[in-house]
Each structure stands twice: as structure tokens, then as C-alpha cells.
């Protein structure tokens, strides 16, 4: 089986984790802050908070931005469910903005249209989660301009996008958003097994997320709301969670971070090779924004079903039966049973639904060989009746 994604673990990663196992701290030690500083410096953000998943990072980012009962969070329907669920965790309601058929990201024109209407109806969103699908950055300048006009806050869900650039700057530097979130799940660009990070340039947001990550409890006198009783004293000033990352995970992260640029470069080289090898097939290869550099977490093709000989399902099944670990990223979130329950239905976001009927993610990971890639392409040609 050629998987759609796979981590790369080298001896230096194993040594780094082993060193933590033999040290004094398995959690709440020096390595988590080292990982945080490493990522913050790499991407150019003021603050970075490591947590146990990107989902946790999205949750505390929403809470820190004040999202709560009666508020709205908007995101793209083509994303992992976590980008929307974080709004529900906070008691907010969730709505979606249809995708741009070229980038597959939340469409800024559709966003503006929806904002105009929402303003009339008095239900403007408090938070918009911009998802950089496959690593390709959203049109952040346009979304940021709309945020200024309509007063919403922006979270970049950059779970696919660490190491990528938007207009010549690393994603995560916060130029166009309030908080950026990275995921370190093993299929993502770098891994800590499970793990995530929230980055911001806003001191107050960072401080709130810091409290929310660990029970809302602090030993820092400057954050306390009543006089400390003595040197043993800690205070709970918020209702927080245990979303901490362990030292083992952070050690893996520090080690993986050293190879980030290499991973992204390899992913881009493999993607360019796919572009060439697939050029003559009735399908659409991923469009790339000329002023950005994608992290290339995923390589998604869209089948041209009008001219093709097979259905989407047949192509998918044929590839799977030949040991090609194709996947579908993603089933539109609004069509999930849990979201249909809230009133969403087929036809609500037609461009996202059209994408869903045609999209297939081909295997792409940094240790993929050209031989494996040729196997994928040969199987795809066969599946499409073009062998």
C-alpha cells in the first residue's frame, strides 16, 4: 500500500525523544518553550503556544477571541470538521462560505456577498476561520480588508501550511490574522505524533490562550485577580483545560522543525512532477497562486467526468484496490449528519459540492520515491481508461 501521507522519523528524532525520557521533565519542562520559540522565530510570530492538537489550538483561539453564545463562526465547507467544530465548542453557531473553484479555499467574493446580507440581517460573524487547504494560502489580503470593514476576527487554520509562504512571507507571521494554528498530526508536514500550536502577535490573546491551555491556573502574580496568600499560591482565574503538549512531543517537534524547509521543498518537487506526469489526462491539477509557496500537504486532482470513461467512485475504488492509498479531502462539513441536523442540506454550497464529486487526493509525502509516484500515475491512467 502506498499511503496518502506518512511521517518521516529519523535517528535524530529518536535520539531527541530518548534524551527527554532520561531527563527530569516529561511534561512542563524546557523543551516545550524551546519548540515554541523555534516555530515562532521560523515563521516570524511574536507568541507561539504549543498544545496537544490543532483542534485544541482552534478551541482556545476561539475562546480567547471572545466567541460565545449567540455569536457566529464562518469557515469553508471544504475542510476537516475541526475548523467548524471549534465554534460549536464555544456555544457559537457555525455557517459556511462557498469555495473558490480555482483555489478550493474560502472565496473572498462569496464572503463579501454573505457579509452584506448578514449585516442587513444583524448576524455578522465574530470569527472567520480561513483554511489554507492543501497548503495553498487563502487570499488573506482580501479577507483581512473585509475583517476591517465588517469587524470580524480571523483565525488562519494553517494545519496544512507550515513552511509555506504568502506573498513572500511565512504563513503564521500574523500579518493578516489574529491567530494562526498549525497541526503536527503524523500526516501533516512536521509531526509531534499529536500536537498543535497557536501563534499570535497580540500579547493579550497570547496570555488568554496560555491560561486556557492549562486549567486557567496561574502562578504568575501579575495575572492574579486577588492578592496571593503566600509563596505556595496559585490561582484559577479562568475556566481552562488540560491541552498541554508533553516534552516528548516537543522534542520530536524541535527535531522535525530542522527539516521543515527540506520537507516542503520535496513536497513541491513531487507535486511539480505529478503536474507533468498527469498533464495529458482528463483532470485538473492543483492551481497555484503565483505569489505564494504552498506547504503542499495534499495533492488533490479533480476528475473531468464529462470526458472521462469512469465515475469518481470507480476511479477511487480501482486505485484503492491496487494499493494506492487515495483519499478524499474533504466531505463538505455541512453535509455531515451532525451538521445536517442544524438545517444544512445539499445545494447550500454548490461549488464545494461539485468539488466533492470530483476530488481525489493522491499520495504525497517527503519520503515518497519517484518509483512509487510512477506506480500511482500508472494506476491512475489505468483507472481512467488511458493506460
Ligand X SMILES: *Cc1c(COP(=O)(O)O)cnc(C)c1O
Residues that bind ligand X (CB under 6 A): 53-55, 79-80, 82-83, 131, 157, 159-160, 183, 185, 196
| Alpha carbons 73 and 368: distance in angstroms, whole number | 37
CB of 112 to ligand X, least distance (A): 23
Task: Cell 509531534: give the residue.
Answer: 192
Q: What does 366-383 look like in DSSP terms, one character per residue?
A: TT--HHHHHHHHHHHHHH
**Rounded to the nearest 5°, which phi and psi values hold at 242?**
-105, 90
3-state SS class at 154: strand
CB of 145 to ligand X, least distance (A): 23
Half-sphere exposure of 47 (CA within 13 A, CB side): 16
3-state SS class at 265: helix
Longest Cα separation, the chain: 77
| Comparison of 80 and 356: residue with beta carbon closer to ligand X | 80
DSSP letter, residue 47? E
Assess whether the previous peptide bond of 317 is cis (omega < 30° from 0). no
| Comparison of 54 and 198: residue with beta carbon closer to ligand X | 54
Q: What does 187-252 look like in DSSP terms, one character per residue?
A: TSSS--SS-EEEEES-HHHHHHHHHHHBTTEE--GGG-SS---STT--EE-S---B-BPBHHHHHH
CB of 137 to ligand X, least distance (A): 13
| Comparison of 160 and 259: residue with beta carbon closer to ligand X | 160
| Alpha carbons 227 and 233: distance in angstroms, whole number | 10
Cell representation of residue 112: 463579501
CB of 354 to ligand X, least distance (A): 20
| Comparison of 47 and 132: residue with beta carbon closer to ligand X | 132
Residue 22 annotated in active site: no
Query: With contact defined as beta carbons under 8 Å apart, do 157 and 76 qualify?
Result: no
| Alpha carbons 42 and 11: distance in angstroms, whole number | 23
- The one catalytic residue in 22, 42, 126, 188 is 188
CB of 188 to ligand X, least distance (A): 6
Cell representation of residue 162: 507550515
| Alpha carbons 35 and 279: distance in angstroms, whole number | 40
| Comparison of 75 and 218: residue with beta carbon closer to ligand X | 75
| Alpha carbons 309 and 178: distance in angstroms, whole number | 47
**Burial class for 75, CB neighbours closer than 10 Å (0-12, 13-18, 19+):** buried
| Comparison of 55 and 103: residue with beta carbon closer to ligand X | 55
CB atoms within 10 A of CB 23: 13
Q: Give the chain's length.
A: 387
CB of 369 to ligand X, least distance (A): 25
| Comparison of 185 and 334: residue with beta carbon closer to ligand X | 185
| Alpha carbons 140 and 188: distance in angstroms, whole number | 22
Q: Which residues are catalytic?
A: 188
Amino acid at each position: 500500500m502506498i499511503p496518502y501521507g506518512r511521517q518521516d522519523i529519523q535517528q535524530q528524532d529518536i535520539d531527541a525523544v530518548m534524551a527527554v525520557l532520561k531527563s527530569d521533565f516529561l511534561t512542563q519542562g524546557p523543551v516545550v518553550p524551546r519548540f515554541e520559540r523555534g516555530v515562532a522565530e521560523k515563521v516570524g510570530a511574536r507568541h507561539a503556544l504549543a498544545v496537544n492538537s490543532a483542534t485544541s489550538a482552534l478551541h482556545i483561539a476561539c475562546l480567547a477571541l471572545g466567541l460565545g453564545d449567540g455569536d457566529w463562526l464562518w469557515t469553508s465547507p471544504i475542510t476537516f470538521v475541526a475548523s467548524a467544530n471549534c465554534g460549536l465548542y464555544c456555544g457559537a453557531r457555525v455557517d459556511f462560505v462557498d469555495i473558490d473553484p480555482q483555489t478550493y479555499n474560502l472565496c473572498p467574493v462569496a464572503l463579501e456577498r454573505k457579509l452584506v446580507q448578514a449585516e442587513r440581517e444583524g448576524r455578522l460573524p465574530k470569527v472567520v476561520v480561513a483554511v489554507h487547504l492543501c497548503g495553498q494560502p487563502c487570499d488573506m489580503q482580501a479577507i483581512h480588508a473585509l475583517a476591517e470593514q465588517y469587524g470580524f476576527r480571523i483565525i488562519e487554520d494553517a494545519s496544512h501550511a507550515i513552511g509555506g509562504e504568502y506573498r513572500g512571507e511565512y504563513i503564521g507571521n500574523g500579518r493578516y490574522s489574529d491567530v494562526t494554528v498549525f497541526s503536527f498530526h503524523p500526516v501533516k508536514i512536521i509531526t509531534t505524533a499529536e500536537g498543535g500550536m497557536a501563534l499570535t502577535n497580540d500579547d493579550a490573546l497570547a496570555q488568554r490562550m496560555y491560561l486556557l491551555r492549562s486549567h486557567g491556573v496561574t502562578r504568575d502574580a501579575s495575572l492574579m485577580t486577588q492578592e496571593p496568600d503566600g509563596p505556595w499560591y496559585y490561582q484559577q482565574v479562568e475556566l481552562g483545560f488540560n491541552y498541554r503538549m508533553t516534552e516528548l512531543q516537543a522534542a520530536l517537534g524541535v527535531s522535525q522543525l530542522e527539516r521543515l524547509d527540506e520537507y516542503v521543498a520535496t513536497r513541491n518537487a513531487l507535486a511539480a512532477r505529478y503536474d507533468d506526469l498527469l498533464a495529458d489526462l482528463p483532470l485538473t491539477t492543483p492551481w497555484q497562486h503565483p505569489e505564494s509557496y504552498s506547504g503542499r500537504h495534499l495533492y488533490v486532482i479533480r476528475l473531468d467526468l464529462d470526458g472521462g470513461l469512469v465515475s469518481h467512485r470507480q476511479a477511487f475504488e480501482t486505485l484503492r484496490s491496487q494499493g494506492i492509498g487515495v483519499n478524499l479531502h474533504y466531505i463538505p462539513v455541512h453535509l455531515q449528519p451532525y451538521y445536517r441536523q442544524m438545517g444544512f442540506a445539499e445545494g447550500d454550497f454548490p461549488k464545494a459540492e461539485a468539488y466533492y464529486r470530483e476530488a481525489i487526493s493522491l499520495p504525497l509525502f517527503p519520503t515518497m520515491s519517484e518509483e512509487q509516484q510512477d506506480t500511482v500515475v500508472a494506476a491512475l491512467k489505468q483507472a481512467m481508461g488511458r493506460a
